[in-house]
Amino acid sequence: MRQRKRKNKGKEKVEEVTIDHAFKRFARLSPPSFEGSMVDRAGEKWIDELEFIFSMMTCIIEQRVRLATFKLKDAAKQWWESVKPIDGSELTWEQFKKRFFAHYFPLTIRAAKEAEFYNLRQGNMNVEEFIAKFNELSKYFLYLRSNADEEWKCEQFLDKMRPEYRRQLAAHDIDSFEVMCNKFRAVARRS
């Protein structure tokens, strides 16, 4: 049984968080199952959805692997049975994700996504499509994963947009990605 501290009207209260309690809260949030599909980054999307759910609930981080593996089905469950520690030890959430991604979102696919980001150009995409595609692919770019560098992100975004927009925005010294997106929208509306 694990404990977590919770502030209640200025007083600290220790609340017991059992796996049963965490599982009930987890189930109420309708987490998706994962069957082992390798299609369309299904494994990555499943992990993203679970991480969103974990951010919405108050579970102890050590419980995440047990909650997640309960939602594995079919081939994914067989995979887990073949890679889980045989000595009964528990993996951390980060260790689990590393093993999971090695199998269901391998380095070759991640490298291809990074190359897709590197080669991204706005082309015929409208403003919102381009912003969405840039955001989707930027999470695969190693530099951005390692550094929260807004200025670099703005430079990359500017470099990848159509020349007529780039010319209008290059004169501004923008170092916030949200500000860059808003100015980009405004320039595109005027064009």
DSSP secondary structure letters along 82-127: HHS-TTSPPPPHHHHHHHHHHHHS-HHHHHHHHHHHHH---TT--H
Residue that is written with structure tokens 């987490």 in the block: 31
pLDDT at 142: 61
Q: What percent of the chain has pLDDT over 70?
A: 87
**15 against 114, higher pLDDT:** 114
Q: Is the dihedral of CA 73, 61, 143, 172 positive or negative?
A: positive
Residue 157 tokens, joined? 């975004």
Residue 15 scores a pLDDT above 70: no
Domain map (residue ranges) of the chain: 2-105, 108-190
pLDDT digits (tens, 9 = 90+) for 114-143: 899 999 999 999 999 999 999 999 888 766
Q: Across-strand partners of 13? A: 6
State the maximum Cα–Cα separation within the chain, in Å, rounded to a whole number.
64
Q: 52-55: long-range contacts (C-beta < 8 A, 24 or more apart)?
A: 53/26, 53/29
Provide the pLDDT for residue 27.
93
